Amino acid sequence: ICFENSMQNIVHNSDVSSESGDSTECVAEEASLILDEMAHRLQLSTVRFFVFTLSKAFKRLFRSVCVNEEGIQRLQQAVQEHPVVLLPSHRSYMDFLMMSYLLYMYDLPLPVIAAGMDFMSMKFVGEMLRMSGAFFIRRSFGGDKLYWAVFSEYVKTMLRNGYAPIEFFLEGTRSRTCKSLTPKTGLLNIVMEPFFKGELFDVNLVPVSISYERILEESLYARELLGIPKPKESTSGLLKARRVLSEDYGSMYVYFGHPVSVRSLTEGKITRSQYNLLPRCIPQKPSADTHEFLNDAAFRLVRIQEENMVLKPWVLIATLLLQNPDGMDLSSLAEQTDWLRHLALAFGAYLDWPDHEACSEVISCSLALHRHLLSVSAGHVQLSVTDAPQVESTPEEAVFHQAVVVLSCASYRNQILHVFLRPALLAVAMQSANSNRKDDVYNCFNFLRNMFSNEFILCPGDSVQDFEEACYLLMKRGVLQVLEHEIVMSASGHSTLAFLSSVLDPFLQGYQVVSRYLCEETNENLTEKEFIPAVRNFALKLILAGRLKCYEALSSDLQKNALAAFLRLKAVRKVKVGDQVTLKVNKIAVNSLEDTLGKSDVTSHQNSWCSSMAMFEIAI
Amino acid sequence: MTGRGCDLHQSPAESLTSDSKHGSSMASSSSSSSAQQRLRIIAGHLQKRPEDENASVAAQECKAEAPRSEPSSATPVPRRRQEIMKWNGWGYSDSRFLFNKKGQAEFTGKRYRLSGLILPSLKDWFEGTFGANLQHRSPATPSLNLSAVAPPNLNQPFVEDLKAAGLTVSHDPEDRVFRAHGHCLHEVFALREGRIGRVPDTVVWPSCHSDVEKIVELACEHNVCLIPYGGGTSVSSALECPREESRSIVSLDTSQMSRILWIDEKNLTAHVEAGIIGQDLERQLNERGFCTGHEPDSMEFSSLGGWVATRASGMKKNIYGNIEDLVVHIKMVTPRGVIEKSCLGPRMSTGPDIHHFILGSEGTLGVVTEVTLKIRPIPEYQKYGSVVFPNFQQGVACLREVARQRCAPASIRLMDNEQFQFGYRSQFKGFDPQHLCVATLLFEGDRGKVLQHEKQVYDIAAKFGGLAAGEDNGQRGYMLTFVIAYLRDLGMDYYVIGESFETSVPWDRVLDLCRNVKERIVRECKERGVQFPPLSTSRVTQTYDAGACVYFYFAFNYRGLSDPVHVYEQVEHAAREEILANGGSLSHHHGVGKLRKEWMKESVSGVGLGMLKSVKEYVDPQNIFGNRNLL
């Protein structure tokens, strides 16, 4: 009833009706259609059925599902106090099934989940999900004001009534790379607004980190990144997925983080009285301040997700295998993994390393679980295609097969990137800076950080903090000495710095490939749509010609991020011509960026690139 | 008792010997014959001092006129207020709560309905609510330590000129201390501990408008700081002497300007000196068959001039209006001269209403000396009432509906569950005692209409699950309002401190604001080391077309805290922030004073504040009225 009232408010107050010229009745009807399409219909019987099925499935898929029970207790407490919003990371379809399953098992109120509309087209399953508490939102409704109004009122009503936690994914979609995605702020604004407007005393945000020892969608993702289109979610697709039931996916980890109070998060940052002058039922666009706050909060929440992500030994092994494309001897792999384990722990990684097992034992277990990505012979391990098709049809296909393996493996390395990211940026900056002077190094660090801010989770405005954190970690590790004006590498620091630099190497190379493509591309009317296939082709040619060894340059994710960075740095512009969006490239600027990146690249870093950075500034 | 299924138990505030007298009473005016009315008019004329003479009356003459034989003109508040009132607490010296040797609460004196009665369950409520213990006492310093009062910083030529003009002046420490504070918690707490801050150096008592003109003229000439003092009931630090003030500070006590100068029955107006206190004004008008209907909770002590200077609000504003609706004419003496309008027209379009520079000016511009007020015949019939609601939400919804239908009784107030538990602790069948709340009502008018009106309101209440709970329960609510300030003094004897504050807020935010502010108070107390859960309660005390006035009562047991007043102030500050963040106003009627000054700009915008400042700049360039309130 309460909701019906607010719906009426929407219909009367939103400027939809006045804009479209439709009568209020029309708008009301449309709104109720939207609502039908969206709403969840939580039914406990369905949930029980689902739980029964899921527990069977989960038992077959996973060796174990580990949950931090003190996190569950905190959640139980939080649910008593204020409305709760669950914010899980999103790596797999399993995520929200597992969330609901766990909450059910722990006797917590079942969440209502904002799920993408694509699920709805799975006829039977869609309805099942709906009855398990999922409600569906269109993937994009940027322009549709009525849709937005109905949707936000729906979410807020559920939150205000407080009968169930709301669950949604900050990252908006499943990360195909296992790197956290740049968070979206729209839904975060919706769940915070009842607090901003005083309708709730507080809202508890609970970041949840879900990690998999082996991801179900592993090779699917890799194929998708390589441009092999993803099948539309359909029930038959899911049935085929039954095949996965026979495989071993290791363990799964769910970590419920500390509840983050929106009230304390906003303290001193949001002036709630800005909402005093409009009736609260009228939807309001967030002010610039609010927007900045939301963005900042979203980044921080994703970082909490990252920090709480449980990592398996395999991510260390994957990192090392990617850095050694020609393979490694088992003994040196063991040695280096052990070294890396200590480095990761020193940097604060949340590593689930078996307590009383020998390193070699741990490694062979990991290798066994991921044997489909490896070839092991005579004590030598190498990433390779194992189930290669009998007939090697074309060289292109061979490249793609190898790329699938590399990208699959990279998705594991990516899980630990957040641990190494800041020191790695510093390591690269050290190598490319003109001098050891702190401000030189910082400038380089800042440039790289800026370049990669679409690629990794780097909180906007935290540049100095990140730099200091990196310095601190490397100093603590004895890699660097940070003096008042200088940063000096310690005698023993070389191997660590070399490792850290190569962590970023695929990204540096990948971005260079993209910029080289943009400089060499002659088509004046390159459309946005053509961009990905064209870059992929370009990279493929380079690989086939033996001029590029970095398969990750083929990843559409990297290519998109690089383009976003160039757009942000205004080296590329979007121009709308008719229905098409074309990309206008400022070749001088892109070239200069490429130079700068090239000089950061471990393979060639004699020349200073700070001078070219100055050039770049002139160019743009 | 009209309530069905009511099973009344002893409430903490209910007396053992509680009489069953009904709240409704026939006013005596119904007996008035035309002969008596004529007599009254004649009496009024006898008392009247013609307006036009006023200007020429010298101070000496106006003083000679002061003692009057008229029986209805009660003697004003004595100059030495401390003779009948507490120097370090609320109200009359003879009236106070105490726990007797048996541990039972008593209210002393003879003035109130509760006076002389034993309140057996107050102890349990007190100990239960605050975790207080009668063994743990925190008594006040028994008497004022005169040596703690700094010697007056006198401006001798000014004092001599005052005396030469025949004005009554005092430098007595007791007089000065009495006028150095209002009734904020920190002010009273300091007095109880015997700590005396900056106090006025001189007290002067003008007897009429022209006395005030003389004082202000001399103050300008000698550059002394004037702080007008009316009833002394401020709860905004408005009477505190600014620490940075280096000039001699003179407290201008208006209490001797307390005459009703004339009553105009044709236009239903009365012209009154601004020093008169509420109860005297009402009593004297009643004797002549009239009332103003302006009844702020402080009306026993607060003055007409104070109401004007703070934009006061009365309990029965639904019939009579707030002070700004009641005034027809105001006369104020400023350093620039006298400000007043030229006629008594009921409304005018002559630019911004200059009354609104005066209303709420909080003593920063001048002294209000005389006010023409609307008066009404005493209502024929008065009836209390009460409604219990299953919960606060339903109660607020009912009040909102009453406001929507514009059928609010003279007064309608909704207490939340915590206040209900203090005031009633009754059981109502079918109501959860942990959630139920009560609305108290007061109807006024002619008998037929009151009964009709009553039915309308109870019908609305029924739609929201409200159940009529009798006249007694209603009257008790209003009676408690007058003694609640005395209760604070009792609390302070046992480590419990507290205060009330208020706001106004649009209807749709009332519930959210109440919940958020109450919770914020509880949370802030916890974070600041308060060992016991605080009492954090709210009530809706006034309804308007577009919103309501909300009151918060907040008190806690401060045992274990080294600086309880500081903690209290921090919590109140946080609560005010919360109010503002939830769409509440800085104040509905208490005013800004110095306590809430920091939020003025935010509240009225920079331009708004600049406007007020420029008025101050023009009217009082020397800052003679230097209490530093508001701006």
Q: What is the pLDDT of residues A462-482, one digit of tens each?
A: 999 999 999 999 999 999 998
Residue B519 C-alpha, separation from nearest chain A C-alpha, in angstroms: 8
Exposed e or buried b per residue across A488-519, where buried means at least 16 C-beta atoms within 10 angstroms of its C-beta: ebeeebeebbebbbbbbbbbbbbbbbbbbbbe
Q: What is the mean pLDDT of residues A357-375?
A: 89
> What pTM does this model have?
0.87
Q: Which of residues 181 through 220 in chain A touch B, CB cutoff 8 A?
A: 198-199, 201
Token pair belonging to A314 = 């395999």
DSSP letter for each residue of A505-566: HHHHHHHHHHHHHHHH---TT-BHHHHHHHHHHHHHHHHHTTS---GGGG-HHHHHHHHHHH
Q: Give the integer Cα–Cα distance in Å for B619 and B624.
A: 10
Q: Which H, E and C letters describe A66-129, residue by residue?
A: EECHHHHHHHHHHHHHCCEEEEECCCCCHHHHHHHHHHHHCCCCCCEEEEEHHHCCCHHHHHHH
User: Strands, E, within A287-395: which ranges?
Assistant: 328-329, 374-377, 380-383
Q: Give the integer Cα–Cα distance in Å for A302 and A295.
A: 11
Q: What pLDDT score was predicted for residue A597?
A: 84
Whole-angstrom CA distances from B371 to A488, B216, B263, B269, B625 are 82, 19, 12, 10, 20
Model pLDDT for residues B385-441, shown as the tens digit of each residue: 999 999 999 999 999 999 999 999 999 999 999 998 888 767 788 889 899 999 999
Mutate to test the interface with B, among A272, A277, A281, A290 (most CBs of B within 10 A): A272
Token pair belonging to A222 = 């890799």
8 Å CB contact of A198 and B580: no
Model pLDDT for residues B264-286, shown as the tens digit of each residue: 999 999 999 999 999 999 999 99
Model pLDDT for residues A39-92, shown as the tens digit of each residue: 777 777 777 887 788 788 888 888 888 999 999 999 999 999 999 999 999 998
Q: What is the mean pLDDT of residues B310-335?
A: 97
Q: What pLDDT score was predicted for residue B32?
A: 45
Taken in order of first residue, the domains within chain A and their CATH numbers are: 1-237+246-308 (3.40.1130), 314-387 (no CATH), 493-597 (1.10.10.10)
Confidence of residue B36 (pLDDT cuts 50, 70, 90): low
ipTM confidence score: 0.85
Query: How many CA atoms does the CB half-sphere of B606 hold within 13 Å?
Result: 0
Token pair belonging to B198 = 């900056």
Residue whose pair of structure tokens reads 């915590």 in the numeric block: B418
Q: What is the mean pLDDT of residues B620-627?
A: 98
Q: What angle do CA B427, B428, B431 make, to 5 degrees?
A: 110
Residues 6+ positions from A606 with CB-CB distance below 8 Å: none
Q: Phi then psi for A135, rounded to 5 degrees? A: -120, 155
Residues in A closer than 8 angstroms to B602, CB to CB, are 273
For the cut 60, the answer to whether the pLDDT of residue A459 exceeds it is yes
CB A75 within 8 Å of CB A256? yes
Model pLDDT for residues B545-583, shown as the tens digit of each residue: 999 999 999 999 999 999 999 999 999 999 999 999 999
**Of B474, B495, B567, whose CA–CA distance to B126 is shortest?**
B495
| Direct distance between the N- and C-terminal alpha carbons of chain A, in angstroms, rounded to an integer | 56
Q: What is the mean pLDDT of residues A315-321?
A: 95
Residue B601 C-alpha, separation from nearest chain A C-alpha, in angstroms: 13
**Of B390, B456, B388, B416, whose CA–CA distance to B4 is shortest?**
B388
Residues in B closer than 8 angstroms to A275, CB to CB, are 583
Q: What angle do CA A474, A479, A485 make, to 5 degrees?
A: 75
Closest by Cβ to A276, choosing from B515, B520, B583: B583
Token pair belonging to B60 = 């000496």
- Burial (CB count <10 Å: 0-12, 13-18, 19+), residue A107: exposed
Residues in B closer than 8 angstroms to A198, CB to CB, are 509, 512-513, 516, 581-583
Q: What pLDDT score was predicted for residue A611?
A: 36
Give bridge partners of residue B6 from the DSSP assignment. Answer: B428
Q: What pLDDT score was predicted for residue B130?
A: 95
Q: What is the mean pLDDT of residues B501-511?
A: 97
Confidence of residue A349 (pLDDT cuts 50, 70, 90): very high
For the cut 80, the answer to whether the pLDDT of residue A606 exceeds it is no
Q: Give the integer Cα–Cα distance in Å for B388 and B407.
A: 19
Residue of A nearest to B511 (CA): A199
Q: Phi then psi for A574, rounded to 5 degrees? A: -95, 135
* Residues of B annotated catalytic, as ranges: 551
Q: What pLDDT score was predicted for residue A520?
A: 86
Whole-angstrom CA distances from B512 to A16, A313, B548 are 28, 50, 13
For the cut 90, the answer to whether the pLDDT of residue B57 exceeds it is no
| Direct distance between the N- and C-terminal alpha carbons of chain B, in angstroms, rounded to an integer | 51
Token pair belonging to A619 = 């160019």
Helix A556-568 and helix A218-225, axial crossing angle in degrees, nearest 10: 50
Q: Is B520 on the interface with A (CB under 8 A)?
A: yes
Q: What is the mean pLDDT of residues B473-483?
A: 89
Q: Which of residues 227 through 286 in chain A touch B, CB cutoff 8 A?
A: 271-273, 275-276, 279-280
